[in-house]
Amino acid sequence: MKYINYDGSMILTGDAIADAVLDYAAILGANSRTDTVAIPAVADDGSVTRTTVLLGPASELTLSAAPDDELEPEDSAFIRHLRDAAQRVGDELPVDADGGHRFRGADGPDDGGPRGGEPASRGGEPARGGEPAPGGEPVPGGEPAGGGDDRTR
C-alpha cells in the first residue's frame, strides 16, 4: 500500500495504482497537458472509494509507503486506462534521473512490455476532445502538440 501525497491530502491506495498515477502525471507534465483522474482509494472507514485529482505540469505528488493491508485495492482496468491515456498524451517523455524508463502507455513494464533500456513505441492516435480519460471525463483540448505520428522512443 502507498499514500499519494497530493496538495496536503493523503490518498491511501494500492502500490500499482499509486505508481501508475505518478507515471501518468509525469507524462502529462512532459507534454504540458492536464487531466482529472478518479483514483481508487481506501477511505478512513476501510471502504473503497474514488478520489478525484487534477494532474498536470504543476502537480506536486509524492508517494510514501503505507502499512500493508490485505484489502489493498487492485484495479487493473484503472491502470490499463491510465497507460492507454498516457500513450495518447504526446510524444514527450519525462526525464528519469535514475536512468530507467517510466511506463510508456499500454506496453508498460508491469504487463510484459518493454523494460529497462528497451525502446517502446509511442505511436497510435493522439487524444482528442471528448475521448474518455482515466477518470471517465472527456479529454479537453484536441490533438497534443506534435501530432500522433509513429515514433519509436
| pLDDT at residue 121 greater than cutoff 70 | no
Is the confidence at residue 146, as pLDDT, over 60? no
pTM: 0.64
Which pLDDT does position 103 carry in this prediction?
A: 57
> What pLDDT, in 10s, does the model give residues 17-67?
999 999 999 999 999 999 999 999 999 898 999 999 999 999 999 999 998
Q: How far apart are CA 44 and CA 87, in angstroms?
A: 33
Q: Per DSSP, what are the bridge partners of residue 36?
A: 54
pLDDT number for residue 112: 37
Cα angle value 72/74/76 (rounded, 5°)? 170
User: How far, rounded to the nearest angstrom, does the alpha carbon of residue 45 sit from its chain's CA centroid?
Assistant: 26
- Break the chain into its structural domains and give their ranges: 2-111
DSSP tag of 41:
E
Work out the pLDDT band at 99, boundaries 50, 70, 90: low
The answer to whether the CB of 21 falls within 8 A of the CB of 118 is no
Alpha-carbon distance of 134 to 85, in angstroms, equals 7
